[in-house]
Chain A
Amino acid sequence: MRVPVAFGQYVPVESPVHALDPRTKMGLVAAFTFSLFLMHGLIGLALAGVLVAAVVRISRVPWRIALRGTKAVMLILIITLAAHALRWNPATVSLVRIGPLAVDGPGLLTGVFFAARIVLLVVGTSLLTLTTSPVALTDGLERLMHPLERVHFPASEVAMMLTIALRFIPTTAQEAEKILVAQTARGARFDEGGPIRRAKAFGPVLVPLFVNLFRRADDLATAMESRCYRGGIGRTRLHESVMRTADWAVLCLGSAALVALGLVL
């Protein structure tokens, strides 16, 4: 059993999409999702598809990676199509009929509509994480949450916890893999037997992982304190992310166009 060490799907290439501020991309993804749910015809979805294809092209993210997410929803797509298109012994005229099973024309169109919407949702939302590094994402999230600090929401602490979590995912994964390999070398089997047996087999892996977690947390807290960490108050950044004029223009025009597209089509 292998632990995938690489986190997320960020594709580190230079492109105009990568260069946008994370807040701009988050806003556009929200507007895109909202627009998809407003649309009620295939023409609208086709236009949204062209838009997504253009963004994938501009972002220089390989098509194979951009479409990878759809593989996981393939079964949902098949069920969606089948649930809408297939009829058992219908009384009305059907598009294709094999024995009692028939493909209903309008049902097929509805199925294609819902399946296309799922594909666009998966690919469209994936573009945010494909073109924004996890650290930039949490930074953007912190800035978006900043106004909530007025009502005592700990936006800075939340962002710090997410940043530490992202930083330690590869370390934890490597540690888990090392322990798994060591236990396998001692004869442990993690891919045999029922779920309970497997969970029990994980016992000798879980104990060191958890003990290390809480010891490391204590060390990390001491390290943070010794560097005068005291929350968000007065904290500055090495790389300040700034919403440029281009970001505002893309966010405002893009969101307005997407919502208008959703309302019209």
Chain B
Amino acid sequence: MSHRRIVIMAEIALTLALAYVLGWLKLWQMPQGGDVSLAMLPLLVLALRRGLPVGVWAGLLYGVLDLMHPPLYIVHWVQFFLDYPLAFMAVGLAGAFAPALGRAASRGEWGRALGTAVIPGIILGSLGRFLLHLVSGAIFFGDYAEGQPVWVYSAGYNSFVFVSALLCAVGAAIVVPVLQRVVPPEGKSPDA
């Protein structure tokens, strides 16, 4: 097993721990389990740093880890897969923009890095998560719609994902440039 693989394993594990801790610092809690927090930020940062497969794995494992801390909002096994492992795996889609971030960072173009990698990555990751929660909400929580069309109700309820994404974008804009300089993904920087 290569050193790089072990480093990535350790990064995924510690990212899960940080995501979990940031998940506790809820800025807004919703009645059926949704919340506005910075829990997505470590998953997004790792995906942007290491790419799509690592991001998707980290998301999947975060979904599993989240299960170990009840109360759980599970009403059906399909809803469980949609709202837990698959929704967080979708966050890892942000990793598709990792090469663009690497290119911009290597040239020190931080404005370009934000515009072509960080922000599009966060939009893609949060959109993926939103779509999975949207389907789950419309199918399994439609009873709470109280007369509204279920898809409209589900879209409204799950829009908390975009509020979280906006906060993560603010956090990522602060954190990503520092990380690329101080702890670059290819190894320790000389000044670290």
Question: Could you tell me which A residues sit within 8 Å of B by CB distance?
Answer: 1, 3-4, 7-9, 33, 37, 69-70, 72-73, 75-76, 79-80, 83, 118, 121-122, 125-126, 129, 134, 137, 141, 157-158, 160-166, 168-169, 171-173, 176, 195-196, 198-200, 202-203, 206-207, 209-211, 213-218, 220-222, 224-225, 229-231
Contacts and interface: CB of A to CB of B under 8 A. Distances in A.
Given A165-B13, A165-B65, A122 B72 contact: yes
Most chain A CB within a 10 A radius of its CB, from B1, B77, B182:
B1
A126 B73 CA distance: 11
Given A122-B71, A195-B36, A83 B15 contact: no
B10 A176 contact: no
Nearest to B62: A165
A210 B27 CA distance: 20
A216 B15 CA distance: 11
B123 interface: no
B178 A9 contact: no
A234 to B, nearest CB: 12
B76 A72 contact: no
A217 B14 contact: yes
Nearest to A223: B10
Contacts of A229: 1, 6
B167 A165 contact: no
SS class of chain A's interface: helix, strand, loop or mixed?
Answer: helix
Contact of A169 (B7, B17, B188): B17
B171 to A, nearest CB: 5
Band of interface residues on B: 35 or more
Interface string B159-192: 0000100110011001100110011000010001
A214 B14 CA distance: 8
Interface stretch (B37-45, B102-110, B114-122, B130-138): B37-45
B175 A126 contact: no
A172 B21 contact: yes
A74 B61 CA distance: 28
Contacts of A141: 64
Given A76-B32, A79-B144, A129 B70 contact: yes
Contacts of A199: 27, 38, 166-167, 170-171
Contacts of A214: 11, 14, 179, 183
A162 B65 contact: yes
Contacts of A210: 18, 42, 45, 175, 178-179
B14 A80 contact: no
A215 B16 contact: no
Interface in B3-56: 3, 6-7, 9-18, 20-22, 24-25, 27-28, 31-32, 36, 38, 41-42, 45
